[in-house]
A and B are shown apart, each in its own frame.
Chain A
Amino acid sequence: MHTDARTLESGTILEGDICIVGAGAAGISIALELVDSPLKVLLLEGGGFDFDPRMQALYRGEIIGLPYYPLDAAALHYFGGTTGHWAGFCSTFDAIDFERRAWVPHSGWPIRRQDLDPFYPRAQRVLELGPYKWDAADWKNGDAERTPLALDPHVAWTKMWQFSPTRFGTRYRDAMVNARNVHLYTNANVCEVEANEGLSAVKGVRIRTLEGKEFRARAKSYVLACHTIQNARLLLASNRQARTGLGNANDLVGRYFMEHLEMPGADLVLAKPQTTKTKIYAMDFARRAPRGELALSAAKQREHRILNGTASVEPGNPGDAEFGTFQFFDTTLLAAMRAWSKGGRQGPPPIAVKLGAAGGAPQSTPQFFHLKTRQEQAPNPDSRITLSTEKDALGVPRARLDWRLTELDKRSIRTYYQVLGQEMGRTGTGRIQIRDWLLSDDRTWPSFLSGGWHHMGTTRMHNDPRQGVVDSNCRVHGLVNLYIAGAAVYPTAGAVNPTLTLVALALRLSDHLKKALI
């Protein structure tokens, strides 16, 4: 069922068993799992079914600390969420990502990679990926040219990405609208989470429309699935009963905001370009062929006490301009990608056109490659979301982002390339040149500092309420019926794009809710 909340009368009370706030990848994944269950599900989406500048403006925020991409362009505020313009990059976290690493302060999840193993294949189906195969050897596709570089796996290996075609907003709209037990409300912005007097449970959420209507939703359990930054913002702004916000008794909500560093880090020159296979590393936008990136082994990460990261291998030319992801994907390109997707994907994707223009003429047997870093940042309590003094059109304080990095982040990138360079030399594969910006001190960052719009942390998972906002079941400490879905719960960021794992966690949460409520 679907109702445009603008048609409701002010003062209406919506009632259900589960109230999911936010209809992006996490919220829709949970709702899909609950279709045809005995539970009545309220799915509240702040936006409509399409991009609306007025709605998008609610995501505008203040940026202090390190420079960052405009917040209202980094995430989308309508049904389907940010999958409305994402590139579909998917890969699985590594076992080491879940471990407590002595050299990474605040690392360690309360769950292990094995705990997510049953959910990854299910998430794979939601995201319409290919077979659940993640070894590079599985993706040769009968093509001898798709052979990974012959590196010692104890040092470096080829980690695979698959590419999801799924725009949740279009792919799952009918499933949500037609579901008997799921009631989708669009244009229903939750402005406040309201707790009982003892602050031990949520008793409802307050909803507003841009037209000035206000009403409430009540349920047995609530799931905040409205994006990493917005989840924290909503909890912090729910401060009428608890001065510092709900779930924030230990001043943790909003802290540990994390990104993936996506920046040019080095160049690679092959020793034998005529015989070295690199096709498996190539980006194929048209066919969405799985692609490899180069990763260091867990043993090498331990030995050098560095973070987890990978590098893409992109043919280029010496002297090409340096772009981080933020600089390459300016807001104009993002708008073009949305239009291209909405228009039925006719013609070459704008991203491919821009890449072609930036990279010059393609080489038949490339010898020179740019290596682009994709690395987790270390969890940092000072990297955080707080509330701005400015309010949005609904009267909710805007988010203020103070993005901060540490010396470990930069040292890890440089060390990664040193280790990879040694292995490239040892195997006679080629030589690596580390970029200038990595050879300076570890505290300064270049003008092309960039993340990947991968917003993580802010309501991190830890079984100790003094160290995390949610427990291992994603339930907010101290509130018996409030859960968080999405990358907001990540204690560490892993090396790879967050969506596959956040969908897997959402499915795990939906199983937990079914057990608890049915």
Chain B
Amino acid sequence: MTLDRRRFLQITAAGVVATLTTSALAGEVGFDASALERPELLTMLGPERVRELGIRYRAAKPSERTASSLRAAISKGEPGTLGLRWSSRGSIEKKIQDDFAAGQTVLVDGWVLSVTEARQCALFSLATA
């Protein structure tokens, strides 16, 4: 079977799918939305490509189509109030680096991305829709 790139999104590690419910997000405190929604990838790929990647990610992951589900997925397992406090861009970059080190990557349109930055792309696509 030939897979079209547009449909090809491979989760390469288990356990990366978000499970937090929307209600859990009610406790969101001190959340730095701009850091989450401005992936470092923007400096490499530009906004159009990042937006496209975000759209593709959301299309391939129905459970992560909303901003709240994406934020929850990114924050899962992180320290802080309900795991949702992101005080600096540095902490996100560290999480992305950890993703790559642990093999928590996804292929989106052929790009080898950290699952966190793929979710950031998705957030960016929502924020700039």
Which residues of chain A have a CB within 8 Å of any CB of chain B?
266, 269-271, 367, 417-418, 421-426, 428, 430-436, 438-441, 444
- In the complex, are the beta carbons of B110 and A439 less than 8 A apart? yes
How many Å lie between the Cα of A68 and that of B111 in the bound state? 30
Q: Is the CB of A444 within 8 A of B100?
A: no
Q: How far is the CB of A153 from chain B (nearest CB, A)?
A: 15
How distant is the Cα of A366 from the Cα of B87 in the complex, in angstroms?
Answer: 33
- From the candidates B3, B12, B103, B111, name the one contacting A440 in the complex (CB within 8 A): B3
Quick check: A436 and B1 within 8 Å, CB to CB?
no
As a 0/1 sequence over residues 99 to 122 of chain B, the CB contacts with chain A under 8 angstroms (1 = contact) are 111010101011111100000000
Which B residues are in CB contact (< 8 Å) with A440? 2-3
Q: How far is the CA of A432 from the CA of B103 in the complex (A)?
A: 14
Q: Which of A269, A367, A441 has the most CB of B within 10 A?
A: A269
Interface residues of B (CB under 8 A from A): 1-3, 5, 8, 12, 40-41, 43-45, 93, 96-97, 99-101, 103, 105, 107, 109-114
Q: Which residues on the A side are within 8 Å of B43 (C-beta)?
A: 271
CB-nearest residue of chain A to B111: A433
Known: A418-B12, A422-B103, A426-B97. Contact between A271 and B110, CB under 8 A? no
B112 and A436 contact, CB distance less than 8 A: no
Residues of A near B103 (CB, < 8 A) are: 422
Q: Which of A270, A435, A439 contacts B44 (CB 8 A)?
A: A270
Residues of B within 8 A of A367 (CB): 44
Task: Name the 5 nearest CB pairs between A and B, nearest first.
Answer: A421-B112, A426-B100, A425-B100, A434-B110, A440-B2
Chain A residues near B8 (CB-CB < 8 A): 439
Complex contact A425–B96 (CB within 8 A): yes
Chain A residues whose C-beta falls within 8 Å of the C-beta of B112 in the assembled complex: 417-418, 421-422, 424-425, 431-434
Complex Cα distance, B97 from A122, in Å, reads 45
Q: In the bound complex, do residue A271 and residue B45 qualify as a contact, i.e. CB atoms below 8 Å apart?
A: no
In the complex, what distance in Å separates the CA atom of A271 from the CA atom of B93? 12
- List, in ascending order, chain A residues with CB within 8 A of B12's CB: 418
Measured CB to CB, the closest approach of chain B to A158, in angstroms, equals 19
- C-alpha gap A424/B41 in the complex (Å): 13
A428 to B2, CA, bound (A): 32
**A residues less than 8 Å from B97 (CB atoms):** 425-426, 428
Chain A residue nearest to B104 in the complex (CB): A422
Contact of A421 among B5, B40, B105 (CB under 8 A): B105
Say whether B110 contacts A436, CB under 8 Å: yes
Shortest distance from the beta carbon of A438 to any chain B beta carbon, whole Å: 8
Q: Which residues of A contact B45 (CB under 8 A)?
A: 269, 431
Nearest chain A CB to B22's CB is how many angstroms away? Answer: 30
Q: Determine the distance from Cα of A422 to Cα of B43 in the docked complex, in whole angstroms.
A: 18
State how many angstroms separate the Cβ of B54 from the closest Cβ of chain A. Answer: 15
- In the complex, chain B residues whose CB is within 8 Å of the CB of A422: 100-101, 103, 105, 112
A425 touches B113 (CB 8 A): yes
Q: Which residues of B contact A266 (CB under 8 A)?
A: 110
Q: How far is the CA of A425 from the CA of B111 in the complex (A)?
A: 11
A315 to B57, CA, bound (A): 28
Q: Which of B43, B112, B114 has the most CB of A within 10 A?
A: B112
Assess A433 versus B44: contact at CB under 8 Å? Given A425-B114, A439-B8, A444-B2: no
CA–CA, A403 to B55, complex, Å? 41
Distance, CA A418 to CA B113, complexed state (A): 10
A434 and B107 within 8 A (CB): yes
B96 contacts across to A, CB distance below 8 A:
425
Most chain A CB inside 10 Å of its own CB: which residue of B97, B105, B111 = B111
Contact in complex: A436, B5 (CB < 8 Å): yes
